[in-house]
Amino acid sequence: MADHRPLLRVRALAKRFGDNQVLRGIDLDVARGERVAVLGASGSGKSTLLRCLNFMEIPDAGTLELDGVALGRAGAGGAREYREAELVPVRQRVGMVFQQFNLFPHMTALGNVMEGPRVVRRMPEAEARGRALAELARVGLAEKADAYPAHLSGGQKQRVAIARALAMDPEVLLFDEPTSSLDPELVGEVLGTIQSLAREGRTMLLVTHELGFAYHVATRVLFLADGRILEQGTPDEVLKAPREQRTRAFIARHQEFRL
């Protein structure tokens, strides 16, 4: 039975920082099981778009529905108002993996992954530990459970961060340039982990500069420019036969460095 209601529905989303209008009206539906790659030059608003989806940034305008439920309530002057108490459970359902990992340095890898189940979902200690170990095993780091982040490589840190997000059973996973701060030889292990999650049919949005990876993993590709979606379609459409001049220029720039 097909479920036609999108898991995530975004309408006219806008966000500015000071004088800089970063997002200028984004409309986007994401269905369950979709994998959306968000591409665009730096400053195009792709990270901000992702960060608005789990309210790391509060949008200035527009609406966001999660599984058919509109978030926030209409406030004065068109902007919606969001209460922190409403956003906390939303963030549990929309997981995020950051460019800089943001692991908790004072906790072991296991501690990092256990923290959400234990503190946020109030799971009993033993159950949370079991769950965390299973997630670490899923990203191939069971043997690093007792290591502190400072003793892990960048790629291992990012995989722990992915396990930490997975331990909350998110319905959507947001990846914000997950390999951009990694040494080139460590990119592969993180992309491999994300690819295995894709095979499980998880819903995800991914901001990335790895065009080849986006091509193979995404079911849909968005190209952002000046805070708007300039072009979108299947990976073949957008990456192999882009309609817009700016998309073509962006892809050409990325291929200059490919040998």
Partner 1 sequence: MGHRWDFASVLDNHEALLAGAAGTLRLFAICLALGLALGLAVGLARSARSAWIRLPAGAFVEFFRNTPVLVQILWFYFALPILLPFEVDKLAAAALGISLNSAAFAGEIFRGGIQSIEPGQWEGARAIGMTQAQAMRRVILPQAVRRMLPALTNRAIEVFKMTTLASAIAYVELLQQGRLIASLNFNPIEAYTAIAILFFCCLWPLVRLTYFLERRLARSD
Site residues (vs partner 1, CB under 8 A): 54, 56, 84, 88-89, 91-92, 95-96, 98, 100-108, 115-116, 119-120, 148-150, 161, 164-165, 167-168
Residue 65 Cβ, how far from partner 1 at the closest point, in Å?
A: 19
Question: For 42-108, where are the alpha helices, taking DSSP H only?
Answer: 46-53, 84-93
Measured CA to CA, the distance from residue 229 to residue 225 in angstroms comes to: 6
Q: How many Cα atoms within 13 Å fall on the side-chain side of residue 231?
A: 20
| C-beta separation of 13 from 49 below 8 A | yes
Residues 6+ apart with CB under 8 A from 22: 15, 16, 45, 48, 227
Residue 25 Cβ, how far from partner 1 at the closest point, in Å?
A: 25
Residue 128 Cβ, how far from partner 1 at the closest point, in Å?
A: 12
Residue 96 Cβ, how far from partner 1 at the closest point, in Å?
A: 4
Residue 101 Cβ, how far from partner 1 at the closest point, in Å?
A: 8
Measured CA to CA, the distance from residue 198 to residue 209 in angstroms comes to: 18
Identity of the residue, 4 or 122, whose beta carbon is nearer to partner 1 in the bound complex: 122
Identity of the residue, 57 or 226, whose beta carbon is nearer to partner 1 in the bound complex: 57
Question: For 152-200, where are the alpha helices, taking DSSP H only?
Answer: 154-166, 184-199
Residue 231 Cβ, how far from partner 1 at the closest point, in Å?
A: 29
Identity of the residue, 70 or 119, whose beta carbon is nearer to partner 1 in the bound complex: 119
Identity of the residue, 98 or 213, whose beta carbon is nearer to partner 1 in the bound complex: 98
Identity of the residue, 144 or 164, whose beta carbon is nearer to partner 1 in the bound complex: 164
Residue 112 Cβ, how far from partner 1 at the closest point, in Å?
A: 9
Element (H, E) at 40: strand 35-40
| C-beta separation of 80 from 33 below 8 A | no
| C-beta separation of 117 from 131 below 8 A | yes
Q: By 3-state DSSP, what share of the chain in percent is helix, strand and coil, each rounded to 5?
A: 40, 25, 35
Identity of the residue, 41 or 90, whose beta carbon is nearer to partner 1 in the bound complex: 90
Identity of the residue, 92 or 153, whose beta carbon is nearer to partner 1 in the bound complex: 92
Residue with tokens 């989806």: 53
